[in-house]
Structure 1
Amino acid sequence: MKNLTDSFLSLGQWPMAGSFGFNTDILATNPINLSVVFGVLIFFGKGVLSDLLDNRKQKILSTIRNSEELRGGAIEQLEKARARLQKVEREAELFRVNGYSGIEQERLNLINSTSKNLEQLENYKNETVLFEQQRAINEVRQRVFQQALQGALGALNSCLNNELHLRTISTNMGMFGAIKEITD
């Protein structure tokens, strides 16, 4: 580092006449150098800086336009989504109302069907009870008839002797013969 500073100091000691060199007098040369540098920068850099600023301005305006277009598209999509939501809500309400009325109708149908089934079962039960009563009555009649018949046969057997028995048989045979002749 010391070599570098020494080389700059040695440059300051060169003679000015007919040669190029640096003026190391900062107070005398600095405002002039700065005004020359600023002048060159303003003259040449003005176009570049203005182009850079114009490009930046165009990019910003383009970004703003794109953002506004995206915002408009998002608002449009939001409105479409809201419209779809309202439509779905209306359909859901319609399904809910129809569902409740359908459920009520199904409940009434089920009640009516159950009522009819109960009525049919009651009728079947009554018919079964009547049938069983008739069967029981017939069974009792048969038993009574059998017992009466057995009692009558027992009474007849005890009262009949061989002669009476033969006479009854021949009388019955005669009646059967007469019936046979009538039918022929």
Structure 2
Amino acid sequence: MGTFLWLATQAGAELAEVAEEHGFGLNFDILETNLINLAIIIFVLVYFGRNFLGGILTERRSRIEEAIRSAEERQRKAAAALEEQNQKLAQAQAEAERIKQQAQESAKKVREEILAQAAQDVERMRQSAAQEQSSNQEKVLAELRQRAAALAVEQVEAHLKTNLSDSTQHQLVDRSIALLGGR
């Protein structure tokens, strides 16, 4: 420290000479500039301020360490929560897939039931149509038989009226009575 003061005094003297020549300069005279007072203040600040500053730095360091530990704890919790949510998401996706498969199976069963019901309905309609057609054919045939019989009776009556004599009529009536009486 002594060397520093000696150098400062020498530099101050040179600067003072330059300043006198130019009109501006720094005064490095120890007694005039209160350099000793300044050194004493700096020494007191360093000596007594070290504990104060050290305490502040230690306190700041502990707060920073606590903040780091807290951040790490929050990070661990967040990672655990993320993992839990990922598991829940996977479960939800699996459940959605299971529901989708059940819906597809259900739709397939309903489709098969509808197709089976439709096939039964078609078969029932075919049978109904076949029965109706058969019934209609029988009605038509019965009607045709009746008309044919009626036409035959009309023709026979017309033929009998023109070709039937009184004696033939008496023979027919007698034969019919005989048939009725023989029963």
Tell me the TM-score range normalised by the shorter chain: 0.5 to 0.7
Q: Aligned with 2:69: secondary structure?
A: helix
Give how far 1:172 is off: 8.0
1:122 paired to 2:149: no
Runs of 4 or more, structure 1, over 4 Å off, are 159-176
- Find the counterpart in structure 2 of residue 49 from structure 1: 53
Alignment of 1:22-171 (within 5 A): 25-28=27-30, 29=33, 31-159=35-163
Q: State the percentage of identical aligned residues.
A: 22
Q: Deviations over 1:115-156 (max 9, x none)?
A: 222211211121121111111111211211221222233334
TM-score, length of structure 2 as denominator length:
0.66
Separation of aligned partners in 2, 1:106 and 1:129: 34
When the two structures are aligned, how many residues end up with a matched partner? 156
Q: Which has the higher contact order (CA 8 A, sep 6+)?
A: 2
Separation of aligned partners in 2, 1:135 and 1:56: 114
Separation of aligned partners in 1, 2:148 and 2:52: 137
Separation of aligned partners in 2, 1:98 and 1:79: 28
Separation of aligned partners in 2, 1:150 and 1:48: 147
> Partner letter of residue 149 of structure 1?
V
Separation of aligned partners in 2, 1:86 and 1:175: 102
CA-atom RMSD, angstroms? 3.4
For structure 1, the 5+ residue unaligned runs are 1-23
